[in-house]
A = this chain, B = another copy of it.
Amino acid sequence: MDKRTKILKAAMELIAENGFHGSPMATIANRAGVGAGTIYRYFADKDVLINETFKEVEGRLNGVLAENYPADRSVRERLYHYYIGLIGFFIENPMEFKFLGQYYDSPYGVALRREKIFSQSSNDYGSETIKSLFEQGIAAGEIKDLPIVILFALFIGSLISVSRDHIFGFIQLDRRLAEQTADACWDAIKR
């Protein structure tokens, strides 16, 4: 693993566990097995490091969601793919989930979301495609005619809550339970 990747991994794990201010640069360097100064050869400052860490995680997440994408199946099945895929990714990558949680509720994440939404180029959690699925579903009369943002909130909000409860140990989520949750979520958005 090259130094840059090791630094990103160390940052992600540390921030997931301890938050931003529980993750000094020296500790990140230490965990990455590099010198403290070395981080600055790859990232201009801590803000940049954090944003790059986010991008790396987002990239992997999008990669997983793109796998086995049932492009030729119904809107419902494609949404299902995302719902189950996201829960699966989070459960298998609890560090990444926690990191994203830290990130989204911080100034970093808020700025990012604002930028994405207003620039219309959003693919947050793969959402651009999710958005288009909603649009197709609405057009086809399959999905409630609500603002996309509302549909998105129903979709993503439940999914994140459920994943968090699993990761923090409040419930044991298996495949069947995840599917039941996805079905319930579908009930929320289907017409």
Contacts and interface: CB of A to CB of B under 8 A. Distances in A.
A188 B158 CA distance: 10
A5 interface: no
A117 B150 contact: no
A131 interface: no
Contacts of A18: 107
A168 B21 contact: no
B177 A150 contact: yes
A169 B114 CA distance: 9
Q: How many copies does the complex hold?
A: 4
Interface string A137-178: 000000010110110111011111110110011110000010
Contacts of A19: 106-107
A181 B161 contact: no
Nearest to A18: B107
Given A21-B20, A161-B156, A165-B149, A170 B117 contact: yes
Given A152-B161, A154-B185, 20 more contacts: A19-B106, A102-B105, A105-B105, A113-B168, A114-B170, A144-B180, A146-B184, A149-B162, A149-B171, A150-B165, A150-B171, A153-B162, A154-B181, A154-B184, A154-B188, A157-B159, A157-B160, A157-B162, A184-B189, A187-B190
22 contacts: A19-B106, A20-B21, A101-B105, A114-B170, A144-B184, A147-B177, A149-B170, A149-B171, A150-B171, A150-B177, A150-B181, A150-B184, A153-B162, A154-B158, A154-B188, A156-B161, A157-B157, A157-B158, A157-B159, A157-B161, A158-B158, A188-B188
Interface of A: 18-22, 101-102, 105-107, 110, 113-114, 117, 144, 146-147, 149-150, 152-154, 156-162, 164-165, 168-171, 177, 180-181, 184-185, 187-190
